[in-house]
Amino acid sequence: MSALRRFFFYLFLLVYLVAAPVAILYAFGYMWAPGSERGLVRSGLVALNTTPDDAQVFLGASRYTRRTPTLLRDLLPGEYSIRLARPGFEDLTVTARIEPDRATVLDRLLLLPTARSPRPILDETWTGFFAHAGGRYLLLQRGAAHFLYDTRKPDEPPRDISRLFTGIPDELAWSARDPDELFVRIGTRVHRLDLEDGAIYPDVTPPARRIAMAHKRLYIADEEGRPMRVARDGTTEPPGARIPPDFFAYGARAPIPNDAETRWLYADGNRLGALDREEMENGDWTWTNRVLYAHAEKISGAQWAHDDSHILFSDGSTLWLLALERGGGGPPRAVCRIGSRGVFHLDERSGRVWLLDSEGRLNYLALVPPRALLPLARAREEAP
């Protein structure tokens, strides 16, 4: 028995001494390259995930048998063209730059449906609308008249709530927490309206030139044009680590931060840009301006989309989708036609874009699949 134990001990020891270094080197990206680059080289990989998933993957001329989400491993450093195809959706081609030991993460690739004509939902025409971040309610505007529309009850006509408004508001922001709570800016005064009981709570923020709701947070631009975040009790957080101090100097009309407040989007006439927070080695930070797209005619609205990986913006009579890093980058893709006012809203939960067409009618377009409560998709992978 002792001899048998010794035999297996040394056998397993040998296996370990070979397998452990190989596994660790592999995990660090090392691989044995065949052909002209023969030798031990450090590879990289691409993590691909599409919305919707189950798209076929083409790497150059090679087709992968598995579908997204997937990992493309053992790629030598260089640039690769990856095409993703799914029936009923437009092909998407992205360029992935592979570096040694680096994972290029393209996990927010958005496939646009081939059929994407907006569908009108109400016969009336409107001059504008505001959407509740919860996705259910729309506040439709026609001149000074305001109507509340429940999208889950499409057959019920919009309810006139104009009596709640003492004047024509300059701006509206709808609380994401409570659909009965609406912030209204008239001049520099910001009031809170309770849509349920009709109460008006005046001057809930300091005097403001702009108000906006983003990711369940209320932001204002104060009288000096500084962006601020307003807490529920009315206290404000001045510019600093999370809020760029000179945001409005870039021509921004409304504060549009991403969820992490590390990137603030602005639209200035014919260009889209962002202020990125960058950590410095000493622990401080700096805000860096990046122009994301500079060839627009006249941008009238912009919104973060698909977990802040894309920007949806209206330019002239077209709604565009611009993919950022994790979305695959590249030039903006035309989504659909839109009215000249450029009024739209993407509800991430339902995946619908609400928009006003050229006649002012309310339309919707199912742009992305409704968001699942639990992320069930898991990374699958294969070799080409």
Per CB under 8 A, residues contacting other proteins are 1-2, 4-5, 8-9, 12, 15-16, 19-20, 23-24, 26-29, 43-45, 47, 71, 73, 101-105, 379, 381
**Shortest CA distance to 318 belongs to which of 272, 357, 350?**
357
Q: Report in angstroms how near the CB of residue 48 gets to other proteins at its nearest.
A: 11
The values of phi and psi at residue 210, to 5°, are: -145, 150
Beta carbon nearer to other proteins, 12 or 201: 12
Give whichever of 77 and 207 is closer to other proteins, judged by the CB atom. Answer: 77
Q: Which is nearer to other proteins, 19 or 334 (by Cβ)? A: 19
| Cβ neighbours of residue 340 closer than 8 Å, sequence gap 6 or more | 316, 317, 358
C-beta closer to other proteins: residue 77 or 316: 77
Sign of the dihedral defined by the CA atoms of residues 55, 93, 57, 303, in that order: negative
To other proteins, the closest distance from the beta carbon of 95 in angstroms equals 17
Instruction: State in angstroms the smallest separation of the CB of 15 from other proteins.
Output: 6
The encoded tokens of residue 101 equal 């030991």
CB 252 within 8 A of CB 269: no
Closest separation between CB of residue 26 and other proteins, Å? 7
Residues 28, 91: Cα–Cα separation, whole Å: 33
Taking the complex as a whole, how short is the minimal distance between the CB of residue 53 and other proteins, in angstroms? 17
Main-chain dihedrals φ then ψ at residue 254, nearest 5 degrees: -145, 145
The Cα 56–Cα 147 span in angstroms is: 45
- Side chain identity, residue 68: T
Residue 1: CB minimum distance to other proteins, A: 5
Residues paired with 42 in a beta bridge:
30
Query: Is the Cβ of residue 33 or residue 71 nearer to other proteins in the bound state?
Result: 71
Q: Residue 222, CB half-sphere, CA atoms under 13 Å: how many?
A: 17
User: In angstroms, what is the minimal distance from the CB of 38 to other proteins?
Assistant: 21
Considering only CA atoms, which of 35, 18, 15 is closest in space to residue 26? 18
Report the C-alpha gap between 209 and 230 in whole angstroms. Answer: 14
- Residue 159 corresponds to which tokens in the numbers above? 């309810």
**23 vs 231 by CB, closer to other proteins:** 23
Distance CA 43, CA 179 (A): 50
In the complex, minimum distance from the CB of residue 383 to other proteins, in angstroms, rounded to a whole number: 13
CA angle 69, 71, 76 (to 5 degrees): 150
| Beta carbon nearer to other proteins, 196 or 259 | 259
Work out whether strand 380-382 and strand 70-75 pair parallel, antiparallel, or are unpaired: parallel
Alpha-carbon dihedral of residues 141, 145, 150, 156, nearest 10 degrees? -120
Judged by beta carbon, residue 7 or residue 201, the one nearer other proteins is: 7
Q: Which residues pair with 320 in a beta bridge?
A: 313, 334
Q: Residue 146 CB, nearest distance to other proteins (Å)?
A: 43
